[in-house]
Structures are given as C-alpha cells and as structure tokens.
Amino acid sequence: MYLKLAWRNIWRNKRRSFIAIASVFYAVLLASLLMSIQMGTVQQMVTTVAGFYTGYIQVHEKGYWDDQTLDNTLLENDSLSKALKANPNIIQAVPRLETFALACAEDATKGIMLTGIDPVKENSLSAINKKIIEGSYFTSDSEDAVILAQGLASYLKLKVNDTLVILGQGYHGMSAAGKYPIKAIIKMASPDLNKSLAFIPLKQNQTLFSAQGRLTSYAIVIDDPDNVDKTVKYLDKQIDTTHTYEVLGWKDMMPELDQTIRGKMASNTIILGVLYLIVAFGIFGTVLMMTNERMYEFGVLTAIGMKRFRLALVTCFESLLVSFIGAIIGLFISLPVVLYFVHFPIPAPASLKSTFEQYGIPPYIQAIFKPEYFINQAIIIFVIALLICLYPLTKISKLKPVEAMQGE
C-alpha cells in the first residue's frame, strides 16, 4: 500500500520527478563511464609496462634489487619453480639472467641490457615471437644467436645475420666476451627498452658470463593483475623470504608508475565526488519540494489520525523510487555506452601522449567492462537517497497539524 501511494505521489508533479530522475540517470551514466575508463587506463598501463616485460611479480636472491650484480644471483631451483607455480593465480614462472654489457659493431658501441631467456616460457610473458619485425625466433634454449630491439639495431647499424660483439664482466669478476649472429629484430612498446634491450638464450648467457645454473630472477605471470598483492603475500609465506629470497610486486619495482596511477585515481575520485554531490542536491531538491509543498496535506492527514511514521515512510519511498528509476535507466544506458568504448577506444589527448609514450603505452584510452563498476554506482545512489530521507523524517516528526494547515 505504501509503495502504491508513493508511486502515485511521484507522478502528481511529473516535471519535478523527471528532473530528479534525469539527475540520477546522468550521474550513474557518467560515474560508470568514468570508472570504466579510469580502471581501463590503469590496467592498460600496468599490462603494458609490467605485464609485457618485468612481470607483475619477481622473485630474486635476497638483496638483488638493491645491488643488481651477477654476484647476487640465485641458483636455478626446480623446487622453487614448483612452489611458485603451486599458487592457482600463477600461470608461469619465467627464468631470466639479466645483466648489463657493452655491445660493439664496427665503430659503434652501446651499453645494453642483455637478457637470457627460456624461449618457450618467455613467450608467456613478453611474447617476443609476436614482436619480431625481421628474422625468426629462437629454436632452442642453447642456440648461438641474439635478438635485438629495433632502436638498438638501428643505432649499431646492424641487420639480421650481422654479427654482434658483447663484452662484460661475468660472475665473480670473470671476463665475458663473445660474438653472436643476429637472429631477429623486434619492436618493443617502451622507447627505453627499444633502444637498449637484447635477448639471448638462457644457456648461452649463463655460459658467456660464467654463471652456469644461475638466474637473476623468476618473472611471474599471473591470471589477473588485481591478484598481485594477494599473490605476493602467499609467496612470502611459501618460500624463505627472511634469509634467501625476496618477492617484489610491480608497485615495488616501479614506484614511479604506481605514483602516476595513484595521482590519476585521486583526481578521478574528486570528479566522482562532484558527480555524487550534484545528484545528492538533485534528489534533495526534489524531496524538499515534495515535502514543503505538501505540508497542508500532511497536516490534514495527521489531524485525522494517520501515524507520523507511516506518513514519513511514504515520503521516503517516493525518494527511493525516484532514485531507483534513475539508477536503473542509468545502468541500462551505460552498459552499451561502456561496451562501445571497450571495443572502440578513445584517442589519447595531446596533453597525455608524452606520458603514454614514456611508458610505451598505446596512445588511446581503453575502457574496461566489469559488472561491479555499475552495481557500485547504484548502491552509492541508494545510500545517498537513504540519507536524504532523514529530512522528511525530521520534518514530519516535528509537524504540528494546526500550524501546517494554517501555513498552506
């Protein structure tokens, strides 16, 4: 009965109700779209930077991250690899031996990051075989060849089948020198990596630097970037991180990226707060008008014996119904709008292109579709509507029938 009365009261003033419904609708639409784009951009940044090379998580020898030398490497360990992959969130533990070296080609020299990789496992993380623009991928983990990033190859003026000379310092101060044919040239998304990165089969890199059986890290591939913190906590309990190993998530390895994301989310939170403030005033204005315009009616109903809490309950239902209608319409309209931007990303504005290029992120803004983003907006709107119901409750509880009828 209360809902029926509230429904009828809403449409006694259609213009007022439509304005309130529209304010809720636009708030839900804009909030859902903003949240989807914000989280899509964050995921795009994390996936591009962390997911395509460093990995979301890395496991090192204790102290390696602060002093990245071959003397702080860990031994290849099947039991450690199995322990890492025992977590259902972990898809692959990718072994690597990364070191700095000097690359030489005729008169040109350049410091490079030489990364020894397992050709099969590495593709589950950085997908090198899909980035090849010239040549072919490694056929085995002991092949005598290297793959160069495009910018590095251009600087050294090298092509496929040319020879690259590598000089460096190996494990425990051993000298490292070798020459390798160039198997392929790849294009990395990050400009910095594209100018300095080279790949070599893991066995060859271990032999070159006299580091047989040693690794600088296991780069962890996980099923969902949202599970990084949970997975790091799990690994801290499963392996000896007190004396032997260290487990770092991408936030610890790339604090500047984490700060960029935090700043972006903070600014978007302010925008969302403004939207919710607007819709709160819209609903409150409607409730305020409905309450004040009907004081005579409330006075009469109270005078003839209607309980105050029932009168307040009907008024609250009116506010909730207006919010519910606006939220439902907003949800149904925002679904196709968000899906459109998922499939057709927005080109990045000129002011953000430099930031995108710095991290090697494609220059477009990608939305992401997750049901909770839409559900959360509806919940927030209902919380706002419930809080606004306090006004008619207070007004009616203090109502004096005679004064209310005289005021009309």
Averaged pLDDT in 10-residue chunks for the chain of 408 residues: 69 75 81 83 75 84 89 86 83 91 89 92 86 90 89 92 92 89 88 88 93 92 85 88 88 82 80 81 75 72 72 76 82 86 78 63 76 79 78 74 62
C-alpha distances (whole Å) from 32 to each of 24, 29, 273, 338, 365 are: 12, 5, 13, 8, 15
Under DSSP, the state recorded for 123 is: T
The pLDDT, as a whole number, for residue 107 is 81
The pLDDT, as a whole number, for residue 405 is 66
The pLDDT, as a whole number, for residue 128 is 87
The pLDDT, as a whole number, for residue 352 is 65
The pLDDT, as a whole number, for residue 158 is 92
The pLDDT, as a whole number, for residue 289 is 74
Where does residue 64 rank: exposed (0-12), middle (13-18), buried (19+ CB within 10 A)? buried
Helices 255-293 and 390-397, axial angle in degrees (round to 10): 30
Of 392, 252, 196, residue with least CA distance to 312: 392
E-only strand ranges, 203-249: 214-215, 217-222, 245-249
The pLDDT, as a whole number, for residue 341 is 84
The pLDDT, as a whole number, for residue 2 is 62
pTM above 0.75, yes or no: no
E-only strand ranges, 106-205: 108-117, 132-135, 146-149, 163-169, 175-186, 197-201
The pLDDT, as a whole number, for residue 359 is 57
